[in-house]
Amino acid sequence: MMKILILKEIQQGIISLRYMLTLVLTIIIFATSAVLYIKKYEDRRMDYEEQMLENRDNLEERAQNLNQLAGNNQYVIRPPRLAELFAAGGEKHLPDRIEFSSFWYAGYENIDRLNYKLNPFTDMDWVFIVGLVLSFTALVLTFDRISGEREFGTLRLQCSNSVSRFKMIMAKYLASLILMAFALFIGMIVNLIIISIGLNASLISHYITQIFISVMLFLFYLSIFLLLGLFISSLVRKSSSSLAISLLIWTTIIIFVPAGSSMLGQKLCKIPSSYEYNQKRDAAWNEIWSNAPVPQARGYWNGRDFPYLADRVKLVNRLYESNDKFHAERFRELLSQVHMARNLTLLSPYSLLSYAMESISETGLDAFVRFYEHGKLYRTIFREFIIQKDSQDPDSYHQICSWHPEAYSDKPVSVEDIPSFAEPRFPPGEALWRIKINLLLLTFFNLLGAILAFGAFMRYDVR
Amino acid sequence: MIWQLIKKEVLNKIMDFRFLISSVIGLCLIVLTTSILSEQYVKQVDQYNEFINADREALNDVKVFSQLRLNAHRPPTPLSIFSKGVSPQLDNSMRISHASVPRQGVETESENPFMKIFQFFDLTTIFQIVLSLLAILLVYDAISGEREEGTLKAILSNSIARYQILLSKLTASLIGLAIPLFLSLLVSFLIMTWVYNIVFSIDQWTRIGLMVLSTFLFLGFFVTVGLLFSSLAKHASVSLIWLLFFWVVTVFIQPNLGSYLAATVTSIPPREKIESAITQVWEKFQEKNEKIEQEIQQEVPGDPWHSDQSGRLPYYFCFDGNRTGLYRYVLRTQRIQPLFVDYAQREWQIYQGEYHVHLNRQLTYQKVFDKFSPTALFKRITASLAQTSIENHEVFIDQARQYRQSYLSYLIDERKVFSVNANLYFTQQTMEQIENSDFAERMRKAGGPGKKMVSYDRSYYDPLDLTGLPQFQFQPTTLSQSMKHVLLDIVLLLCLSVVLFYLCSVTINRYDVRSN
């Protein structure tokens, strides 16, 4: 009986105008997203390769002289990832290049081709399509499933059959889920076909597991909206009221909760302004300089035979260590504010889906923080390499300091010996573990939706 | 008769449950958003004042002209609560220096750059989403619904033209929408003025009034679209489905797609390219600098005195206590500092050249795509009126550039420059004047035989008298300038509604009122 009910619901849904429009809109938007992404990905790939080449050339040139290699800035760069198609994660605003030398940290920046003159926009990734467009269509498919049938009088007829109400609503829910899944699959297939033609088909094969997990997550997410639609439809008498309530709740949780929570997060977690930060950092620098344990070390540098060479090098290195410490502290402060805002946005299933997808696709803020940590680690390894190479030079004074290159080795090093930077990729299983909270909350929303929808329908007056 | 119809329609609409629920949710969102945005604005004002005071204090401490660190700050506007435009991604402070021309960096120094990953919204976004949805919910069954219920027949049996019925429905819907709109605005103003003490000028009130009018134009578009779909469809449920898809595409997808398309269809060169072109300019500067050093060495032979190798003036310098060192220093200053101005101009030309052309091309594309999106048009109109659009920001950058020019004139014209300082910018004093100055005398005494090098310490000197130093005062765009930017958009939005209303009239005149 259940099967028949589901089939009937699917047949009814599939020929409806709203489902046809859903299908057309889904296909168009997935196809547009793929076409635009190809261009974007190619540009980014080109920029990345150019940057890597330039960095390599610079290293080769500086490898002729160890102190040049140590004192000049170099980069670690994040490669563009195809997975940004699944979840862009605000990557266009996040830095993808860290600049540093073995002595100082120069900063992080974004090499994306951003045009500040354009209005702010959201990337049309899978999260945007499913999170916004398909969740909307899920509500449109279900807003009158109960109240609409009551208005037409068909609900009475259905209830007069020997089918439990539980089975009836279950059939409606499953049929809607199947219909949504079908639209989603079609859209995703169109998207992936275009990507395979436009880019390299083998690229996609690296992301099969991620695609599979994404589909599961999307269905889990869409299910919340189907249940919400069914719940509100079972709560009110008129389908028009059900639609108004559903859509207003939808706009609130999709648009206003994520944006409002981030603004609230900024308010709740206040951090010192960049002006205050700069003042503190400079004051610490001046204090170290003024309170140098050996004041003569501050004196004018007069070549390698300067009697306070070791003290001066220590002093200069302490200055840069202090700057590094301030920078690390500032980074922690900035992140704590973003995390506070992000935690507040978890009230919205849309944010839950976005963050989960970012984890799966290794994009977004967390991926950047991991990249930053690896960059820091690489800098330590690079510095140790400089110290080790310098220790092998008998002519060096072994006083490594950014201000005085003459105080340490100027011998050439082999480019092959220079440690290279590589960002490790996480297995998808690990990503699943990282999104456990998101999964738990999505499950909670699903369960809540199911209890409310099923409960409301059990008590629904079909007259 | 038409007034009776309007009255009936208004009553019908405001008694509707959909109307009540939309108004309540809209009001809650408005209260929350106004509080958060007002607090943000107050914080921005505090920060602006902090910057201005810090700059003023720094000026009191300036001992030499090379120590001058001038900034141009743009004051925040309370209208950003209504529409943020492109302001969240732009810098509101510009460094003013003879060695660089103010320009908007691609990377801006915001308080927390990572917060950019979040979306933001303003009051007009709420109106745009909630009120447009309410507009659709109010009119989707205006014609088809009445036909289904059979009331359309009864109305048409009266001696009233069909277009008048349509007009009454349009007016009633707009009146219905005006209630939550004005209620929300009233609550917003109460929060802004009572809780956060935000005061608006007459110009700003006029702009708010125009924003409200443009909101009506925008809502008018949705009402007429709703009426058109309702008069095209036989059943209210069909018009509703079409309208819902139209709404989601028009409000969410289309305006976003416009910017996304503009950013993707045409590429801008990677920033690295422009930066390497700029680096090349400064490398040429360095070459010229070295050549000048050699020339000076030939003109005034002797031990080269200590200076940093970058060619930029050191904050301190060492002076060997004789005339030659001083003379060489003056020559360097006179020849190298004007070069900074020259090369800063070249850097600016590179930026303004090909790169800027690409940025503007994307902007033009976006503007063209926006013409097809009523929501994007509405956003452009409100941003321009709220002085947060890109055009307003460019006015700020232009003014910062003009300010730099007046600062340069001040530096060049000001004859007092040499009074107490060592780091001379553009000085036109003769060597005799320099040699006879207090400064030269003091340096000679401090140096002299046996004391080869003397550090120059700024704390020896009194602060500079900076009377006559130009001050930056931001002149926001006037109302007429703002209107000039958006007049076409307003006309387009109006035309869209008029055309749609005309189509509605045609459709309703051909409408078969019989219910089957």
Q: What is the pLDDT of residues A378-392, one digit of tens each?
A: 999 999 999 998 888
Residue type for B82, please?
F
Tokens found for residue B62: 């300036």
Give the best residue of B245, B265, B378, B389 to mutate against chain A (max A CB count within 10 A). Answer: B245
Contact check, Cβ <8 Å, A273/B47? yes
**Across A248-266, average pLDDT:** 84
φ and ψ at B83, to 5 degrees?
Answer: -145, 125
CB A25 within 8 A of CB B245: yes
The minimal CB distance from A334 to the residues B39, B112, B376 is found for B112
Count chain A–chain B contacts defined by CB atoms under 8 A: 212
Tokens found for residue A366: 């967390």
Q: Which residues contact B198 (CB under 8 A, 6 or more apart)?
A: B38, B41, B42, B78, B81, B192
Tokens found for residue B403: 């300010």
Residue type for B148, please?
E
Q: What is the pLDDT of residue B422?
A: 39
CB B272 within 8 A of CB A111: yes
Packing angle between helix A309-345 and helix A274-290, nearest 10 degrees? Answer: 160
Comparing alpha-carbon positions, the chain B residue that sits nearest to A143 is: B241
Contact check, Cβ <8 Å, A275/B259? no
CB B113 within 8 A of CB A334: yes
Q: Within 13 Å and on the Cβ side, how many CA atoms surround A213?
A: 23
Is the confidence at residue B281, as pLDDT, over 60? yes
Give the best residue of A248, A264, A273, A274 to mutate against chain B (max B CB count within 10 A). Answer: A248
Q: Which residues contact B254 (CB under 8 A, 6 or more apart)?
A: B372, B373, B375, B376
Distance CA B134, CA B173 (A): 10
CB B415 within 8 A of CB B428: yes
Per-residue pLDDT reduced to its tens digit, B403-454 = 999 988 887 765 434 333 334 443 444 556 656 666 566 655 654 443 433 4
Lowest mean pLDDT among A321-325, B137-141, B271-275: B271-275
Q: What is the pLDDT of residue A194?
A: 93
Is the confidence at residue A415, as pLDDT, over 80? yes
Comparing alpha-carbon positions, the chain A residue that sits nearest to B129 is: A251
Residue A51 with chain B: CB contacts under 8 Å: 272
- Considering only CA atoms, give the Rg of chain A: 29
Kindly indicate the confidence band of residue A332, based on its pLDDT and cuts at 50, 70 and 90: very high
Residue B54 with chain A: CB contacts under 8 Å: 275
| A5 min Cα distance to partner chain B (Å) | 23
Distance CA A102, CA A378 (A): 10
pLDDT higher at B256 or A2: B256
CB A200 within 8 A of CB A235: no
Give the best residue of B31, B55, B141, B264 to mutate against chain A (max A CB count within 10 A). Answer: B264
Mean of all residue pLDDT scores within chain A: 87
Q: What is the pLDDT of residue B415?
A: 46
Q: What is the pLDDT of residue B423?
A: 41
Contact check, Cβ <8 Å, B260/A123? yes
Nearest CA-CA partner of B95 in B123, B58, B121, B136: B58
DSSP A127-190: HHIIIIIIHHHHHHHHTTTTHHHHHHTHHHHHHHSS--HHHHHHHHHHHHHHHHHHHHHHHHHH
| B360 min Cα distance to partner chain A (Å) | 8
Per-residue pLDDT reduced to its tens digit, B446-482 = 544 434 334 444 555 566 678 888 899 999 999 999 9
Strand partners, B71: B95
Distance CA B82, CA B74 (A): 18
Instruction: Name the percent of chain A lying above pLDDT 90.
Output: 34
Lowest mean pLDDT among A363-377, B147-161, B188-202, B216-230: B147-161
Q: What is the pLDDT of residue A243?
A: 84
> What ipTM goes with this model?
0.83
Give the DSSP letter of residue A256.
Answer: I
The minimal CB distance from A248 to the residues B25, B39, B88 is found for B25
Tally helices (H) and strands (E) across chain A: 18, 3
Distance CA A332, CA A320 (A): 18
Token pair 């819902």: residue? B244
Strand partners, B96: B70
Distance CA B116, CA B110 (A): 9
Q: Which of B398-402, B432-436, B511-515 has the highest mean pLDDT?
A: B398-402
DSSP A389-447: HHHT-TT------TT-GGGS------GGGS----PPPPPHHHHHHHTHHHHHHHHHHHH
Length of chain B: 516
Give how far the C-alpha of residue A218 lies from the chain's centroid of Cα atoms, to the nearest Å. 16
Instruction: Name the percent of chain B lying above pLDDT 90.
Output: 31
Is the confidence at residue A227, as pLDDT, over 50? yes
Q: Which residues contact A289 (CB under 8 A, 6 or more apart)?
A: A298, A315, A319
Convert A229-248 to b/e letters by CB count within 10 Å (16 or more is b).
bbbbbbbbebbbbbbbbbbb
Per-residue pLDDT reduced to its tens digit, A203-223 = 777 888 889 999 999 999 999
The minimal CB distance from B111 to the residues A116, A262, A273 is found for A273
Is the confidence at residue A141, as pLDDT, over 80? yes
φ and ψ at A234, to 5 degrees?
Answer: -85, -10
CB A318 within 8 A of CB A403: no
Contact check, Cβ <8 Å, A25/B245? yes
Distance CA B89, CA B66 (A): 31
Mean of all residue pLDDT scores within chain B: 81
Per-residue pLDDT reduced to its tens digit, B249-268 = 999 888 888 888 888 888 88
Per-residue pLDDT reduced to its tens digit, A10-60 = 998 899 999 999 999 999 999 999 998 998 888 888 888 988 898 889 888
- How far CA A34 is from CA of A29, A197, A199, B167, in Å, comes to 9, 10, 10, 44
| B18 min Cα distance to partner chain A (Å) | 6
The minimal CB distance from A275 to the residues B54, B129, B258 is found for B54
Q: What is the pLDDT of residue B217?
A: 94
Q: What is the pLDDT of residue A226?
A: 94
Is the confidence at residue B311, as pLDDT, over 60? no
Q: What is the pLDDT of residue A349?
A: 93
Comparing alpha-carbon positions, the chain A residue that sits nearest to B47 is: A273
Token pair 């699917």: residue? A10
| B112 min Cα distance to partner chain A (Å) | 6
Q: What is the pLDDT of residue B310?
A: 34
